[in-house]
Chains A and B, each alone.
Chain A
Amino acid sequence: MREKGSPGRPSFGIPGSSLLQRAASLLGRHLIFVGLAIFLAVFPIWAKPLSRPLGINLIMVMRMVGIYTVAAVGLNILMGYAGQISLGHGAFLGIGAYTSALLALKAHLPVWLSIPVAVVVTALVGLLVAPVLRLKGHYLAMATLGLGIIFYVFMREMTWLTGGNNGLREIPALSFPGVKIGQARDYLRAEYYFIWTLALIVLLLCSNLVRSRVGRAMRALHESEVAANVMGVDVSWEKIKAFVLSTGLAGLAGAVFAHIQGYIDPNLFTITLSIQLVTMVVVGGMESIWGAVAGAGVITFIPKIVEALPKWLGEVPRWVEKYSNYEGMVFGLILVLTMIFLPSGITKGLADLVRYRRNPFVNPFRKKAMEE
């Protein structure tokens, strides 16, 4: 209140300058967002000429990065901000994917309707299993892992609904009234724009959310549940909110995935996917919305780059070519090394390192020792 009327900031005097100033401040606050949006908008122009020499279909990969970003942002809020781990989020992508696909296939719902319904259903399932959030640390990790296993078994065994191991095929492509996306001539590019528009909206909403009262409450309970409780934060309710939000976003990612992929089966949504999502969050940086984008990008591109290596180098040893065989070793090493050397992830960790060069008092590595 005081700032508005304070004589030092006469910004409301001249209308033109205030608008400019406000635009500038808005731009400053959302610099990363605007930069990312511009980059993504012009990306397809370079993607085509670059794709052939690189041997990677960049647009196709970037579609997946967008989908993973949506899921990873949700998981980042849950893990990074609220401090609650989940090793079962792959299953929630599965629930979203199956719900949307089944609604479109069996109930003949249009895709633009089936996706939001799938999001709501997944969020409701998240709410239903939210009592596990009473658990902490290891217990929560194992309980969510158990949830993932239970959902996987149900997806596999409810053959009358889900088709069992054969999965669902010929899922309708993305489409909206008046707009063709999945049936468009250059459908990859159309889907790319659709997915990233969605992802950017989600990113913007979430980055606002974590700066709001809810976001501060979540961070408070991450630091210390007791202290947060004493300060009047309803700890269990905040946890549930974060969890339901993250499951809803996982459902959204899964639903969109089902419609661009065209087929799904239970083996796409196993513990492997859950751990990939956790890896994205951890590598990108917990407690950093933009880290989710970086993490999703890095983790999605690594396999593609390894697969493209033979085209770049001409000849590589046979064992390098068979990436899927040692994929787990790469992810495992990344996880372990990140935890040991850069526990706050690449975005935040690198920023902290730079800051430390300038100022020895924010050394992220010495801080731990000081606290003890």
Chain B
Amino acid sequence: MLDFWRNCPQYLANGLANGCLYILVAMGFNIIYNSTGIINFAQGEFSMFGGLFAYALTVSAGLPIPLAAILAVLSVALLGGLMERLIINPLRRSSVITAIIATIGASIFFKSLGRVIWPLEAYKVPEFTPGNISLPGVTVSRQFLWVFALTVASVSLVYVFFNRTRAGKAMRACSVNRQAASLVGIDVFRMSLYSFLLAAALGGAAGLISAPYASYGMGLELGVKGFTAAVVGGLGNVFGAVVGGLVLGVLEELIPGFLHIVLGISTGYKGAVAAVILIAVLLFRPQGILGKGMVEKV
């Protein structure tokens, strides 16, 4: 038990770092859900492309890291826009189950495309500033500061976008009532495109900062965890995702740590923690811990 308490600060630090990634992915889920009403199962794959593009631009093309980061995020956003035009737009009148299956199709297509171009199990994405920081009881990589700063910057930008710009306000109108929004002259289909651009950019940013490694297989895991974070914060509540991501990130470190040190259970079960949290929250508190998420109505 004492060992567990001694490790706690480290768990918290790791949890917060992972939580930041989940926040970005979860916000992507929420933004798309709000303006189109569907869950994009390819959201995790946007992150995969973010990481792999960053690798290609820095290591293969030799660009400086800041430029490569911006280019990677923009290319992923473009990909998201392309996906909206080619898959989501033609299906705008279909049922939920049809749209789910189409985004699953897109997800396995993207994953396989990533695997064809970058076939190795792991690619080392250069860290923005290498090295570690040691505090009493905690050691974190310097990258952690970047992760934190970029997440704060992205969340603030999204906040400004939704509250200060015309397009952002129009998207919020769509999330309240799409039919009413289109009646007052908002182009709902363009908002759907914007939401995919924005969500893909956020996902790409998550993949970019999830250094040190990127691979074609990272999408599913990030996708499931991002969705869990979105559900924990309340699906549809864009800023609930911040709470959801942090809670999930920390729990995901604390629970396996506790089970391992106190009860002696293998850390291999860590992979199931997010899924268990997801199902538990969906069953017992579907509106999320903040209670502002949308519950599916009949």
Contact = CB atoms under 8 A, between A and B. Distances in A.
B87 interface: yes
Contacts of B93: 368-369, 372
A278 interface: yes
Given A138-B39, A143-B279, A153-B268, A336 B106 contact: yes
A115 interface: no
B132 interface: no
Contacts of B107: 332
Interface in A322-361: 325-336, 339-340, 343
- For chain B, give the interface size range: 35 or more
Interface string B217-231: 000100010011001
Given A137-B96, A325-B112, A150 B272 contact: yes
Contacts of A147: 275, 279
B296 A137 contact: yes
Contact of B116 (A145, A275, A325, A369): A325
Interface in A74-122: 79, 83, 85, 87
Contact of B97 (A83, A145, A275): A83
Given A143-B282, A275-B104, A343-B94, A332 B110 contact: yes
- For chain A, give the interface size range: 35 or more
A141 B39 contact: yes
A176 interface: no
Interface in B241-298: 266, 268-269, 271-272, 274-276, 278-279, 282-283, 286, 296, 298
A139 interface: yes
Interface string B66-88: 00000000000000000000010
B101 interface: yes
Contact of A325 (B119, B271, B272): B119
Question: Is chain B's interface secondary structure helix, strand, loop, or mixed overall?
Answer: helix
A319 to B, nearest CB: 8
A139 B286 contact: yes
Nearest to A87: B104
Interface string B101-113: 1101111111111
A152 B111 CA distance: 20
A137 B297 CA distance: 12
B92 to A, nearest CB: 11
Question: Is chain A's interface secondary structure helix, strand, loop, or mixed overall?
Answer: helix
Given A142-B278, A147-B275, A328 B224 contact: no
Contact of B109 (A149, A329, A339): A329
A61 interface: no
Contacts of A332: 105-110, 112
A225 B266 CA distance: 43
Contact of A271 (B38, B96, B220, B272): B220
A138 B96 contact: yes
Contacts of B115: 325-326, 328
Interface in B6-41: 33, 38-39, 41
Contact of B102 (A143, A153, A340): A340
Contacts of B33: 138
B271 A149 contact: yes
B279 A132 contact: yes
A146 B112 contact: no
A328 B272 contact: no
B275 A328 contact: no
A136 interface: yes
B131 interface: no
A157 B269 contact: yes
21 contacts: A131-B283, A132-B282, A132-B283, A139-B286, A139-B296, A143-B279, A145-B224, A146-B228, A146-B279, A157-B269, A319-B116, A328-B108, A329-B112, A331-B109, A331-B112, A332-B105, A332-B106, A332-B112, A336-B106, A339-B101, A343-B98
Given A138-B38, A340-B87, 15 more contacts: A131-B283, A132-B279, A135-B283, A136-B296, A137-B100, A142-B39, A142-B224, A142-B282, A143-B282, A328-B108, A329-B112, A335-B105, A336-B106, A339-B99, A340-B91
